[in-house]
Amino acid sequence: MAAFKDDDAMAWCKDDGEEKKKWDDEQMVKGEVVTRRHRTLTKEESQKVKDEFVSVEWDEVFPKKPKERLRWLDKALRAAKDGRVKVRPVFDIIAHRKFLDGLKGSTASDILNLIRGNLELFTARQQKQLTSDNFELYRKYAPINVLDSDEDEASAPPLPPPPKVIIEPKGPKKRRVDGENRNDVDSGDSDEDMESKRARLLAKGVERRIDPTDGQAYTLEEFIKEYGGNEQSIPTEWERAQHTAFIFKT
């Protein structure tokens, strides 16, 4: 067997290295540098994202004015229906006493109607709480059933479905004119309309409410006789039975 000379060995190693490099160059795929550009949102798209965002942070919701809380609730319920927010945080907010602070008149009625119109979003237990006398908004602003004198209060029809709530879009702030009296501006939160409607209903008959202790309906005078108080200091039991009120025609 012929022996390799040193020069032959070096040549073989050199050839082998060059062949390997050539093979590697042929097999390798040259890399491609790709840069991703983030598309800038248009003004309309940015506004849409802002409009659809719903905060469920207590520190952001509770300080809002009554009208703003109404707008927030409308957005929150629509977002919950679309699955963009969870229902539980929304329930925790509207059931909190701080959310109810300062609500009155038409604003309070609209908020209650929004809740009643979207009860299917909540669990059975949550629905029960939102439609009981433990929920202050329902206790004060739930509609009143009107019965004839020959009708039994136990057979009272269910409450009518809530009317559709029209949410006014938020407009630009009006500049206050010097000397303008803020009390002259109708805030829409007055109880005058509610009291007027209630007075007209009472003029048609005698209001009665159901006492939960026995399930029977009684007048205010009968509640006072049973629990004490007077027309200026109405018994708490009468106030708590607001949602069961109906007008008994005489």
Q: Note the pLDDT tens digit of each residue in 168-202.
A: 777 665 555 555 454 444 444 455 555 565 556 55
222 has pLDDT over 50: yes
Q: Note the pLDDT tens digit of each residue in 62-89.
A: 999 999 999 999 999 999 999 999 999 9
DSSP 132: S
Which residues lie below 8 Å from residue 18, measured CB to CB, with a gap of 6+?
A: none
As given in the structure block, the two tokens for residue 241 are: 């039975």
**pTM, full prediction:** 0.53
**Beta partners for residue 146, in sequence order:** 247
Which residues lie below 8 Å from residue 218, measured CB to CB, with a gap of 6+?
A: 208, 209, 210, 211, 226
d(CA 226, CA 209): 13
d(CA 76, CA 79): 5
Weakest-pLDDT range from 57-71, 127-141, 219-233: 219-233
d(CA 34, CA 45): 27
Which residues lie below 8 Å from residue 236, measured CB to CB, with a gap of 6+?
A: 227
Question: H helices within 83-208, ranges in order?
Answer: 87-94, 97-100, 105-117, 124-130, 136-141, 192-203
For 152, the 3-state DSSP assignment is coil
pLDDT number for residue 243: 74
Length of the chain: 250
Mean pLDDT of the 40-47 span: 69
d(CA 114, CA 72): 11
pLDDT number for residue 187: 45
Place of tokens 């979207």: 118
**Highest mean predicted confidence (pLDDT) among 125-139, 152-166, 227-241:** 125-139
The Cα-based distances of 92 to 43, 89, 103, 191 in angstroms read 34, 5, 17, 26
